[in-house]
Each structure stands twice: as C-alpha cells, then as structure tokens.
Structure 1
C-alpha cells in the first residue's frame, strides 16, 4: 500500500466559475469528509493527484493548513472526452480503522482446452480492510476451469486482514461454452441471390 503526500489548500470559492479557475491553474477541486466532521473544501495539485490515482485505493497524506490528514479517494469525476480530473471526493481515515473498498480482480491461468469464453461478472470485489493497508488487487486463478464452471466470491483468496463486503455466493467469473457460428438459412441465401439479380 503506497502512501502519497500532497499539499492541499483550503478554498472558499465554489461553483462552476471557481472550479474552472482552479483547473486552469492545473489544480483539482476536492472535498474531504468523514469522522462526523464538516466537509472541508480544498484544492490539490493536478499532476501529482493524477499520478497518485493510478494506484487503486491509494492512501493520500494531505497537509491541510499545517494539519496532516489521511484520506482515500471515494469518487473521482473526469472529463468524459479529455479524461482530465474535474473533482475528487476524499474520505478521511485513521490508522487501524477498517474501510470498505473495491479491489480490482486480476485473472491468471488458462482455461481447460477447448474454445470456452470467460465472462467477468464482477471486475472488482468489495472488501473490508485496514485503511492504511489496502491491498492493490486480488488475484483469481481460472486454471483448468471448463464450460459451466464458476468462481464465487467466497472462493477468492483474500490478503491477510481483509474480509468480504459482498455476498459470499456472488459469482465473480463464469466459463461459458463457445457457440459455433450458425450457417445462414437456405431461404436467406435465396433472398440474397434474388437481391443481386
């Protein structure tokens, strides 16, 4: 679990115009909330935040007006076309505190021989873990799985200190039998020939 230090600035201007001005300065408007405290509106350095968010569930160490706070990203808004950060919601956490997060699922291994398809029912797995020791991902082996097989959430091996926060019988992946392509019906061929003539 990586911890990234960012310098935050308090902000008192709100609304679209203020947000645009902040983004023009290569900064990102953000809100920090949690632990029953009032939300704190801040700005964060855009490039450093973008790099930090490449790590799923990154732990951010924020210096807000001389006070150090730990937070994790809860909601990230990006521009749908250009992909730049528009706004970030951060959740305050404390060392030793348990939080619920979504971990990316990394698939490894080869399916049983034959043309079978692997369907990803879940791409992330909701787990409860210590805020300062959030794993980057969970690994799931599909080695030897055949058509009709599936892997449930309870079958996924979790890192130490991590528990499921989703129904243990939820399907994570399932193996489907590949469907052979159907030959076009004879009537369809006749119609095509008539259309060409």
Structure 2
C-alpha cells in the first residue's frame, strides 16, 4: 500500500512553452502541473533525480508531500510522460489531494505462479481502475495462476482487492486466460502458414 508520503521540494515555474520545458530538463528538473480541488493550476519544476527515485520505489501512483517554496501540499502523481527513446521524464501531471480522500487510479496487474503443464497463460489486461484512500493505494494487484488448468478465466470481479479498495473497471473485464498450449501453437502455426502462402500466390 502507498501509505507513506514522499517529501520533495519543488519550485514554481514562471516560464512556459517548449523552450522553457527544455531548459528545465537540461537543468535537471521535470516540468509539472499541479491541479485539482478547484485550485488554479500551478506550474512547477521537480528535481528529476529525486522524482525518478520516488517513482521507482513507489510506482506511478506515488503520493507526494510537496514543499512549494515553503508551502506544503499533498499531491498524487496522476500522469508521467516518458521520452520513448531516451527514457527520461518529460512532464508530469500532479493532482491536489487531501488526507482521507478517495481517489480513482489505475493499478498494475502482476501474474504470479505456474499453471498446469501443457497450458499457456495469456494476460489480457495489464491494469485495472480502482477507488482507494489516497494514502492506501495498492502498488499492484497480484493474480495467482499456480496450478490453474486449461480453460480457466479470471475476470476483474475475481480479483482479491485489499480492504478499502473498490473495483471501478467493468467486473466482466478479462484479466487472464489459461489456454491449452498445443491449441495456441496450432493457431500460431496456421497464421504463419497463411502468411507464407500470400507471397507465393502473388508471384503466380
């Protein structure tokens, strides 16, 4: 559970635009916007190294105790944009929250265990949407497939959620399916054969 806050000192950002954002990143800062609870959006610079460490240790739903030039504000990491090639944080959206408040977030799903021999485990959904106390957001939801047989399906309604956490995603959302490995292999082989036949037909 994300039951602890992460203290981090940030500064207000007066410059806006792509040029200002590039200068901030070059100076080791992440441009961010803080909004919510009817407040005016605040443009901030967050120390990139500290912010990245918090996300590594607490996930993308990390709760931050911001020190905005002497003013404290609790915030939830709402969205993080990462450069697709260079893998650095380009921008972050932060949501103003209050202690005891319920928030809606996406939580990653992790599949653990080994299904029965001769099966293939297919994960259909990587995350689900839940509602939880802002300071008790689960870092992940674990799905145990140990010993599961072919034909087993696990839907969102089957997940074991921590106390106080409510499912928001559709209860019928398919999370994991355990299939027969032989059938899956035959399907893949048939698709490959169809793909190989197409060039031959075109050559004729």
Q: Same fold (TM over 0.5)?
A: yes
Of residues 38-47 and 138-147 in structure 1, the stretch that sits farther from structure 2 once superposed is 138-147
CA positional deviation for 1:113: 2.4
1:53 alignment partner, SS class:
helix
Task: Describe how 1:89-128 pairs up with structure 2 within 5 A.
Answer: 89-114=93-118, 116-128=119-131
Q: 1:11 maps to what in 2?
A: 13
Q: 2:156 maps to what in 1?
A: 153
Consecutive aligned runs of 4 or more in structure 1 exceeding 4 Å deviation? 180-185
Q: 1:39 maps to what in 2?
A: 41
Task: From the CA coordinates, give the structure whose radius of gyration is larger.
Answer: 1
CA RMSD of aligned residues (A): 2.0
Q: 1:69 maps to what in 2?
A: 73
Map Cα deviations across residues 16-73 of structure 1 (whole Å, 9 max, x no partner).
1111111111011100001011110010101000111112211111011321111111
Q: 2:88 maps to what in 1?
A: 84
Q: 1:23 maps to what in 2?
A: 25
Map Cα deviations across residues 78-117 of structure 1 (whole Å, 9 max, x no partner).
1111111111001111110000111111222221222x11
Decide which of 133, 139, 146 is 1:143's aligned counterpart. 146
Q: 1:131 maps to what in 2?
A: 134
Any gaps of 5 or more consecutive residues in structure 1? 193-197
Aligned counterparts of 2:82 and 2:146: Cα–Cα separation in 1: 36
Map Cα deviations across residues 104-131 of structure 1 (whole Å, 9 max, x no partner).
11222221222x1111111112110000
1:170 counterpart = 2:173:
yes
Map Cα deviations across residues 133-183 of structure 1 (whole Å, 9 max, x no partner).
111111111122222210011111001110101111211111122234559
Aligned counterparts of 2:49 and 2:84: Cα–Cα separation in 1: 18
2:86 alignment partner, SS class:
coil
Aligned counterparts of 2:83 and 2:171: Cα–Cα separation in 1: 35
Aligned counterparts of 1:143 and 1:71: Cα–Cα separation in 2: 37
